A and B are shown apart, each in its own frame.
Chain A
Amino acid sequence: KAGVTQTPRYLIKTRGQQVTLSCSPISGHRSVSWYQQTPGQGLQFLFEYFSETQRNKGNFPGRFSGRQFSNSRSEMNVSTLELGDSALYLCASSGQGGMNTEAFFGQGTRLTVV
């Protein structure tokens, strides 16, 4: 069974640009959650999608958005990038129970904003 795949693995963007990250969950999983990890703030929850609907949302500005497609693949978009958005972005997929069940993490996308 293939694991969770995140693309790209590394990304360098300029301040003010926008970026889209992709996450393909484990086959059959309908819940995809996104997280940001920085040295200063640690891991923080961005949002969770389940069956193409945003089910839970963390405390991030509206520049951070996401969506989920009918095949459960999810994308995360950050607009008007700031230097502080430099982070490791992780996604995790889960089964029917969403974040109340075991989560399987991707390797992450390391975003650097210059």
Chain B
Amino acid sequence: KNEVEQSPQNLTAQEGEFITINCSYSVGISALHWLQQHPGGGIVSLFMLSSGKKKHGRLIATINIQEKHSSLHITASHPRDSAVYICAVHDNNDMRFGAGTRLTVKP
């Protein structure tokens, strides 16, 4: 069993829909990252969380340390949000990654 599980693996939405991507992990962590990867490989760090909730524009990330779970929400989704979203956890010595969620937003 992968130590970082993301769901869903693939997600197709219509423009304007509210989107949620989930990440569950089984190890103790010091930080959790949400990353966005566009075709071509470039990765952008969206959030770094160690507790609570963060918001940036239409993106919201939450983490529940007790339940070892994090969610990434996208409000009013747009075709330019189409990308792979990756959850990564830092456990002081290592960084472990989820397999990613491929999001396609159709106009």
- List, in ascending order, chain A residues with CB within 8 A of B88's CB: 43
- Chain A, range 82-99, C-beta contacts under 8 Å to B: 88, 90, 92, 99
The answer to whether A58 touches B48 (Cβ under 8 A) is no
A74 contacts partner chain B, Cβ-Cβ < 8 Å:
no
Q: What is the size, in residues, of chain A's interface with B at 8 Å between Cβ atoms?
A: 24
The answer to whether A103 touches B42 (Cβ under 8 A) is no
Q: Check A42/B90 contact, CB under 8 A, given A88-B41, A100-B30, A100-B50.
A: no
Give per-residue flags for A3-42: 1 if the beta carbon is below 8 A from chain B beta carbons, else 0.
0000000000000000000000000000001010100001
B99 contacts partner chain A, Cβ-Cβ < 8 Å:
yes
The answer to whether A102 touches B95 (Cβ under 8 A) is no
Give per-residue flags for B62-94: 1 if the beta carbon is below 8 A from chain A beta carbons, else 0.
000000000000000000000000101010111
**Interface bin, chain B:** 20 to 34
Q: Check A56/B100 contact, CB under 8 A, given A88-B41, A104-B45, A107-B41.
A: no
A44 contacts partner chain B, Cβ-Cβ < 8 Å:
yes
For B45, give its contact among A58, A88, A102, A107 (CB under 8 Å).
A102
The answer to whether B90 touches A100 (Cβ under 8 A) is yes
B106 contacts partner chain A, Cβ-Cβ < 8 Å:
no
Q: Nearest chain-B residue to A100 (Cβ)? A: B31
A108 contacts partner chain B, Cβ-Cβ < 8 Å:
yes
Q: Nearest chain-A residue to B31 (Cβ)? A: A100
B27 contacts partner chain A, Cβ-Cβ < 8 Å:
no
Could you list 6 examples of A-B contacts with CB < 8 Å? A42-B97, A45-B97, A90-B43, A101-B31, A108-B41, A108-B43
Which residues does A use to contact B, with CB under 8 Å? Answer: 33, 35, 37, 42-45, 56-59, 88, 90, 92, 99-105, 107-108, 110
- Beyond A44-B97, A100-B30, A100-B48, 17 extra complex contacts between A and B, CB < 8 Å: A33-B95, A35-B95, A42-B97, A45-B94, A56-B94, A56-B95, A58-B95, A88-B41, A90-B43, A92-B43, A100-B50, A103-B33, A104-B45, A105-B43, A107-B41, A107-B42, A108-B42
10 smallest CB-CB distances across A and B, nearest first, come from A45-B95, A43-B97, A105-B43, A100-B31, A99-B90, A108-B41, A103-B45, A102-B48, A88-B41, A107-B42
